[in-house]
Amino acid sequence: LYYQPQVNLFTGKIVGAESLIRWQHPQMGLISPSKFIPIAEETGLINDIGNWVVNSACSQGKKWHDLGYNNLRISANLSSVQFRNPSLVAKIKYAVDNTGFNPNFLDLELTESGIMKDVQQNIKMMTEIKAIGARISIDDFGTGYSSLSYLKSFPIDILKVDQSFIKNSTIDPSDAIITSTIINMA
């Protein structure tokens, strides 16, 4: 598990870290999750992998808090298959209880396209996760097919605009307008 710092653009201070899973293969080197997560989802291993990620992220977050970095948030990605697992909320609760990590500093990330399947069940699951104290983030926002009317019904705390819009927003007027509109809408 690798950790990518999350930086406040106004202060330049690190405010959190996103946990990113990578597979260090002995012959092939570092393998991107886009290569192995779909296989893990097909085989059912994604739930065990996802539970390991959430547990590891909570454990690391607790270590950082114990070192005095009390306000650092930690985020972990949930696959859409993992998110549909009925035992997910219990697994998240176990992770925070087992590690002693304050769930108010935990962000769980879902993709926009992943939440649009079985909307009512997903709203229920998000509500249960938020009841533990964690926040819900939507990753890669702008790449899915979600309707804004549907989106407002989800208990979402954070929208992460897809990098395809951000990357060129200083040189492509269309990307700049889309990015600005999403920020203003949020």
The string of pLDDT tens digits covering residues 39-52 is: 999 999 999 999 99
Residue 146 has pLDDT above 70, yes or no: no
Residue 144 has pLDDT above 90, yes or no: no
Count the helices and strands in the chain (H runs, E runs): 9, 8
Cα–chain center distance at 44: 20
Residue 15 has pLDDT above 90, yes or no: yes
Mean pLDDT, residues 83-105: 97
CB atoms within 10 A of CB 39: 10
Cβ atoms of 150 and 123 within 8 Å: the answer is: no
169 DSSP 8-state letter:
T
Q: What percent of the chain has pLDDT over 70?
A: 86
pLDDT value, residue 111: 83
d(CA 173, CA 5): 28
Residues 6+ positions from 13 with CB-CB distance below 8 Å: 7
Residues 6+ positions from 75 with CB-CB distance below 8 Å: 6, 16, 17, 18, 19, 57, 106, 107, 108, 109, 137
Residue 145 has pLDDT above 80, yes or no: no
List C-alpha distances in Å: 62 to 96, 101, 103: 9, 5, 10
Mean pLDDT, residues 129-143: 87
150 DSSP 8-state letter:
H
Name the CATH architecture for the domain at 2-185. Answer: Alpha-Beta Barrel (3.20)
Cα–chain center distance at 75: 6
d(CA 183, CA 179): 6
pTM assigned to the model: 0.86
* Ramachandran class of 118: left when φ > 0, alpha when ψ lies in -120 to 50, beta otherwise: left
Per DSSP (E only), the strands in 113-163 are 135-141, 158-161
